[in-house]
């Protein structure tokens, strides 16, 4: 009986934290004070502060601050015609001076130097990032200047720019390292499918995907947000740690590939580092996605058939 109550409580806490993280991701430009977010979670501000820190492994203030800085770091590189002051406001900072202090403290260099040098295109300080990540970006933000005829990779992709319609997804969120961890993905999807099956949410043509909320060249592995998801009908109700939300539509660069697990990173490198600079587009703040089009366990060559989706906006 006690175990059942404990599990029920954990699911309720997960549902409330999902609402808070979703709200922060969608409203970075707005005030995100403790009282406002505690109300989203339906906790008192005093208790919510402690609960969030225990659940996420960082304080609420640190989480919001980090996401704003990471978005600013990418905008500085890809929106080179925009002023630093405008980017500061877009990322939720109260003033250009406050942003300047925060950026220097967070990344060790002034925002202008970050933009000019396109720092974080390599895996070295001040980013303190890891080796190129599979299942996500490995070259963002920034790409070195080079002639189009000399690509950074030997991978050829057939890329289409498409406008995708909004989708309703049921998702299971993971905070932490995921690079190359096939067992983690298997566990997460098994948990999601076990929830969805009895609810009639897995017809023969069901679609499932992963969403990558962070740039692994900016976000430490322990803080990276991964979501495994299933496309569901509008109006589907969330349940505990399984959240439900709408993915906004928009422009995406899409490419279908059939790859071995060890080749994931090369495909994203080709899309981001080779195709993107000559495309007339830049990355948007929406998450990158991978739709999975087969079961690699039953593929004769053990390959993953995936569709990569990189969110875009005009340059």
Tokens of 158: 């057939």
| Continuous segment of H or E residues that includes residue 22 | helix 2-26
Report the relative pairing of strands 250-259 and 160-164 from DSSP bridges.
Answer: antiparallel
What would be the CATH architecture of the domain defined by 160-314? Alpha-Beta Barrel (3.20)
Tokens of 20: 């808070």
Query: How far is it, in rounded angstroms, from Cα 291 to Cα 126?
Result: 33
How does DSSP classify residue 248?
A: P
| Continuous segment of H or E residues that includes residue 165 | none
Query: How far is it, in rounded angstroms, from Cα 232 to Cα 116?
Result: 43
C-alpha closest to that of 232 among 263, 269, 266, 195: 195
How does DSSP classify residue 237?
A: P
Tokens of 195: 């929830």
What's the CATH code, domain 63-117?
Answer: 1.10.10.60
Tokens of 203: 């017809």
pLDDT digits (tens, 9 = 90+) for 120-149: 444 333 443 333 233 333 333 333 333 333
pLDDT of residue 228: 97
Helix (H, G, I), strand (E, B) or coil at 187: helix
Point out the residues of the chain with pLDDT beneath 70.
1-5, 46, 118-155
Domain ranges of the chain: 2-57, 63-117, 160-314
37 contacts 23 by C-beta, under 8 angstroms: yes
The pTM score is 0.71
């Amino acid at each position: 009986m006690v175990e059942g109550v404990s599990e029920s409580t954990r699911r309720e806490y997960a549902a409330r934290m999902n609402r808070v993280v979703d709200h922060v991701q969608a409203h970075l430009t707005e005030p995100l004070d403790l009282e406002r977010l505690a109300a989203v979670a339906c906790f008192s501000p005093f208790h919510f502060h402690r609960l969030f820190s225990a659940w996420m492994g960082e304080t609420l203030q640190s989480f919001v601050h980090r996401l704003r800085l990471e978005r600013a770091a990418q905008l500085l590189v890809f929106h080179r015609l925009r002023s630093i002051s405008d980017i500061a406001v877009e990322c939720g900072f109260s003033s250009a001076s406050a942003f300047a202090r925060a950026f220097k403290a967070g990344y060790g260099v002034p925002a202008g130097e970050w933009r000019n040098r396109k720092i974080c295109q390599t895996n070295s300080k001040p980013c303190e990032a890891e080796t190129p990540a599979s299942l996500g970006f490995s070259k963002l933000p920034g790409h070195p200047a080079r002639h189009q005829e000399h690509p950074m990779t030997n991978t050829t992709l057939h890329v289409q720019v498409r406008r995708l319609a909004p989708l309703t997804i049921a998702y299971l969120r993971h905070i932490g390292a995921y690079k190359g961890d096939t067992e983690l993905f298997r566990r997460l999807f098994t948990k999601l499918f076990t929830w969805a099956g009895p609810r009639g949410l897995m017809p023969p043509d069901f679609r499932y995907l992963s969403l990558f909320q962070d740039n692994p060249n900016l976000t430490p592995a322990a803080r990276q947000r991964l979501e495994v998801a299933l496309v569901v009908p509008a109006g589907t109700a969330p349940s505990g740690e399984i959240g439900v939300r709408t993915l906004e539509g928009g422009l995406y660069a899409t490419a279908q590939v059939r790859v071995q697990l060890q080749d994931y990173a090369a495909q994203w490198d080709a899309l981001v580092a080779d195709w993107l600079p000559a495309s007339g587009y830049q990355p948007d703040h929406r998450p990158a996605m991978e739709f999975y089009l087969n079961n690699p366990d039953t593929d004769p060559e053990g390959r993953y058939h995936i569709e990569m989706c990189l969110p875009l906006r005009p340059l």
